Amino acid sequence: MKKKQIILGAAAAVCAAALTVTVCCSRYRRPSVHRFRVGIAVYQADDPYLQSLTDQIMQALQSKNQNGTEILYDFFDASGSAYQQNNQLHTMMQQEYDVILWNPVTPTNVMGILEEAESRSIPVILFNREPAETDIEAQAHVWYVGTDAQEAGTIQGNMLIQAWQVGNADRNQDGGVDYLLIEGEQAHADVINRTDAFLRTASASLSLHQLQVLSANWSRTTACKELENLPEETIRQAEAVICSNDSMALGVYDFYTKQQWELPILIGINGIPEMRNAIDSGQLYGTVDLNVTAQAEQIAKLVEAIAEDNSAELEQRIFYLPQYPYTKH
């Protein structure tokens, strides 16, 4: 009897030890994590607007790290080179990234990459620099997130109308608006759509007299240099300067400040912090705020839906986010 008790006691001890090990292991066992790799390819990392947008995208992606999914991302800067960006995209596909976020150097030449990504079952979310709608819809797993370029031009036109009506902008008292137009890349779809919409809107209420059209390739420095090449008489005649982005508008501001000349009505597009600060201080008139927070959140929602295979969130292919005028008035 005594021997039986000893055996039973030993068995109980073994069971207790096993239970202890099981509890101990479960306490320190980490839940399984689904790691989801995102490649972010941008055309020019030092562009102030892209800096603002990609910072917001990365913050939005980090906020989606929940429910057992860890979103990891790598950043690729093409420095304005289509050749370099294509190499980066091929590398991402060879390394089997789960999704690619692509801000293309050449929006008119995206089909080859999109077809290859589709063949490898890698979804692509294009953003900011919009390709043709047919290019987006030609593949099953491609989306675009951005803003409507024509809407931005319309907002600019309405801002000029408002500025002309409330201020003493008609310097030569001829009843018309003498203006300079500073555009980004020549033949770029966003430039064309913004300019057309601006002219259509503003000319419906104002008499417009275009002094000069300059192309400054989205660059602050180039915009300033382009103005330096114009006759002083032309620049002093300008009652408004309309720019396709904020960086070029700030280049115009730099030029006028250097010359110590009175600034005309100056309107940009983007809503980058430096431009907003200059508007808040009364130095510049206004810009079109492209709402980077909303764009970034939509991109992150698509990434999350792809990671979770949530087809309902992926049915819409093109997303234009709200944008709005930003002025001090």
34-147+294-322 and 149-289 in the same fold? yes
CA distance 268 to 325: 10
H-type alpha helices, the chain: 2-28, 48-63, 82-94, 111-119, 133-137, 149-166, 189-203, 220-228, 232-237, 246-259, 273-280, 292-307
For the chain, percent of residues with pLDDT exceeding 70: 89
> Is the pLDDT assigned to residue 5 strictly greater than 70?
no
Token duo for residue 97: 């990234």
Residue 124 token pair: 């692509």
Q: Return the pLDDT at 232.
A: 95
Residue 10 has pLDDT above 80, yes or no: no
Instruction: Read off the pLDDT of residues 207-259 as tens digits, 9 standing for 90 and up.
Output: 999 999 999 999 999 999 999 999 999 999 999 999 999 999 999 999 999 99
As a whole number, mean pLDDT of residues 267-287 equals 97
Domain boundary assignment for the chain = 1-30, 34-147+294-322, 149-289
* 24 pLDDT higher than 50: no
Q: What is the pTM of this model?
A: 0.87
* First and final C-alpha spacing in the chain: 98
Tell me the C-alpha distance between 301 and 259, whole Å: 47
Task: Look up residue 109 and give its two tokens.
Answer: 């030449």
- Residue type at 315 in one-letter notation: E
The reported pLDDT for the residue numbered 27 is 34
pLDDT (tens digit per residue) in 47-82: 999 999 999 999 999 998 866 788 999 999 999 999
Kindly list the strands in the beta sheet with 99-102, ordered across the sheet, starting from the edge strand earlier in the chain.
69-77, 34-42, 99-102, 124-127, 142-146, 318-320
Residue 19 has pLDDT above 70, yes or no: no
The string of DSSP codes covering 148-207 is: -HHHHHHHHHHHHHHHHHHS---TT-SSSEEEEEEESSTT-HHHHHHHHHHHHHHHTTS-
The listed CATH number (3.40.50.1820, 2.30.30.110, 3.40.50.720, 3.40.50.2300) that belongs to domain 34-147+294-322: 3.40.50.2300
Element containing residue 106 per DSSP (H, E)? none
Please answer whether residues 135 and 73 qualify as being in contact, where contact means their C-beta atoms are separated by less than 8 angstroms.
Answer: no
User: Per mean pLDDT, which range of 82-96, 132-146, 165-179 is the poorest?
Assistant: 165-179
CATH architecture designation of domain 149-289: 3-Layer(aba) Sandwich (3.40)
